[in-house]
Amino acid sequence: MTKVVFKPTVQHNVIFTFDDKDQEIIDFSFANIPAYEEYESEYIRQIILKVIGEENAKALSKISMAVSCEEKDFFKLPLIKSVFERDGKYYFQPNQRDDIENEIIQGTKIASLTKDF
């Protein structure tokens, strides 16, 4: 499948929760996000790496994310539907992860120091 992107800017409000420090609440915008849910783990991984960095994500335990866009068709994107189906929450404790979280951290140091819930 060819990677199709959604060009309009998407606003993000993300709460990063860690095992070893206070939460960080960060607002940012991305354009050219992938349209299809097959790229969900890649999309979330890139948010983590670009916004807080791999070193800061070693003890990441949870992400809570809200997204918005002025484009009316934004909510129809399969990727965005997948994010909403999870209520924008991604859990990185080893005993709380599902396939998506495991794909997000694969080959990185993300959540490498995170403990079970």
Q: Tens digits of per-residue pLDDT, 71-110?
A: 988 989 999 999 999 999 999 999 999 999 999 999 999 9
Are 74 and 6 spatial neighbours (Cβ–Cβ below 8 Å)?
yes
The tens digit of pLDDT for each residue in 4-59 reads 889 899 999 999 999 999 999 999 999 999 989 899 999 999 999 999 999 999 99
The whole-model pTM stands at 0.93
Distances (CA, A) of 57 to 31, 37, 109: 23, 23, 7
DSSP alpha helix (H) spans, the chain: 40-51, 78-85, 99-105
HSE-up of residue 89 (Cα within 13 Å, Cβ side): 7
Q: How far is 82 from 4, CA to CA, in rounded Å?
A: 16
pLDDT of residue 72: 83
